[in-house]
Amino acid sequence: MASILQRRAAAAARRLLLFLPPGPAAARWRSSWALPASLVRWGGLVGGRWVETPAVFPVQDPASGEELGRVADCGVAEAREAVRAAHDAGAAWGRLPAKERSVRLRRWYELMVENKDELARIITAENGKPLKEAQGEILYSASFLEWFAEEARRVYGDIIPASAKDRRMLVLKQPVGVSAIITPWNFPSAMITRKVGAALAAGCTVVVKPAEDTPLSALALGELANQAGIPAGVYNVVPCSRQQTSAVGEVLCTDPLVAKISFTGSTATGKILLKHAAGTVKRVSMELGGHAPFIVFDSANVDCAVAGALASKYRNSGQTCVCTNRFLVQKGIHDKFVENFAKAIERELRVGSGFDENTTQGPLINEKAVEKVERHINDAVSQGASIVTGGKRHSLGKNFFEPTLLTNVTTKMLCTQEETFGPLAPVIKFDTEAEAVAIANAADVGLAGYFYSQDPAQIWRVAEQLEVGMVGVNEGIISSAECPFGGVKQSGLGREGSKYGIDEYLEIKYVCFGGL
């Protein structure tokens, strides 16, 4: 074991600097690409300790393909150890006065803000998104800790009028217990705090399994949690490779000590986790796949609709669960919208390294993601769609892809039937409001939906008829810590953020006090 630790220490020292892409720009990028040694951790976090494992797995920069470093590959044993640590810490954390939990969460929030630039560099390094977007994610991520630090002090019960003179009836809200938190790579910080903030505020402890592509953000949050005074065992992290993911996920979903599962990811994976959780009837929150429609009616302000479309579609290179996946544009405004949208794409969007200040579009996360975008474009073109702009891999190579706009799209094409998760905007022309709503609601998922209109009556009708959990009216960016995030149909169960988010981590207990 000593030799393993010595090798890992030597490797960690080498990893304080990121590998640089080849070429003359390397020297210029060196300072930007340095990983912040104060926050980068390579082991799992279990019971307040940084845990080494004999096996490790690589974390890669999606822009260059270079290896950033190697992280502890936690398996079944480490997952069970983390669950036990969370369980052992749970009683004390749950009994802590709400005000004290609030103070610790608030301090964690403050440390995130103080270290926002370092945390953003970690995100850009492992996820690829532009640094400005990464900085925005950190502030968004921190906002959930701030919000739930405040909500921790507002978990109220009830007094119920008694049915008999000698009784008093009351309702208590208590923490559900150990919560397994399974998060995706596209928002490697915010998807953690949106869940963990609520869990810790309610008095629960957590075991976080981050995506194998982006474990460094979860581990950096762990370092700041330790600094904020979050007790050992309250926040645990078990990073693992793709090969270990299935086994670790099964442990987190079946261990009898785990009371709650919160997952963000694909609908297919969510269904597998639900089956695992059914055996012990665990509480479950699921934020699953989306297929967001973006409807532009004839009455819309075209310039506003184009600005909203650009933001909604191409943020994080189209790799968000609430990104627009289908544009539905009414025939009277269709040609003008497409023309202006194409000009905006070519004028506003710049593909490149996330560390380049001019970049608005970073790489896709991996080759598999690029191949899916290509498959959707090829299928659409083969059925008659036209490429207005983009349509192919970018000259930078690797995982970079040109922002793409398609017209003459029909509902028979893959890009209108599946979530692309990339920089592809397919436009469908429609005639009537009823037709647009029918197309929008034809999906078996319903996370977010957007539409642009200046007709007040139409706004009310369509907002109420869209079968989604969140609607943006004349707005392309809708997420906020104060508002409930979640979907309907096969887009998931439960809500995150807002005053409703903490309820996902609370049990309701009725107490009848008799003989008075």
**CA count, 13 A, side-chain hemisphere, 199:** 30
27-41 pLDDT, tens per residue? 333 334 579 999 999
Lowest mean pLDDT among 8-22, 307-321, 380-394, 466-480: 8-22
The helix (H) or strand (E) run that includes residue 171 is strand 168-175
pLDDT category at 315 given cuts 50, 70, 90 is: very high
pLDDT at 180 over 50: yes
Domains within the chain, CATH numbers bracketed: 44-288+494-509 (3.40.605.10), 292-483 (3.40.309.10)
Residue 455 confidence (pLDDT): 98
Query: Average per-residue pLDDT in the chain?
Result: 94
pLDDT value at position 132? 97
Report yes or no: 369 and 421 within 8 Å, Cβ to Cβ: yes
- List the catalytic residues: 287, 321
2 pLDDT above the threshold of 50: no
Span 256-270, average pLDDT? 97
pLDDT tens per residue, range 351-387: 999 999 999 999 999 999 999 999 999 999 999 999 9
In this prediction, residue 26 carries a pLDDT of: 36
> How many residues comprise the chain?
516
> How many helices (H) and strands (E) would you count in the chain?
15, 22
Within 242-310, strands assigned E span 258-264, 283-287, 292-296
Higher pLDDT, 26 or 178: 178
Q: What's the pLDDT at 398?
A: 86
- Specify whether the backbone of 23 is left (phi greater than 0), alpha (psi in -120 to 50) or beta: left
Q: Note the pLDDT tens digit of each residue in 48-104.
A: 999 999 999 999 999 999 999 999 999 999 999 999 999 999 999 999 999 999 999
Contact (CB, 8 A) for 100 and 218: no
Task: Look at residue 56 in the predicted model and tell me its pLDDT.
Answer: 98
Q: What is the pLDDT of residues 188-242, one digit of tens each?
A: 999 999 999 999 999 999 999 999 999 999 999 999 999 999 999 999 999 999 9
Distance of CA 322 to the CA centre of its chain: 10
Cα(186)–Cα(489) distance, integer angstroms: 22
The SS3 call for residue 227 is helix
35 Cβ neighbours under 8 A, 6+ residues apart: 15, 16, 17, 18, 68, 69, 121, 122, 125, 216
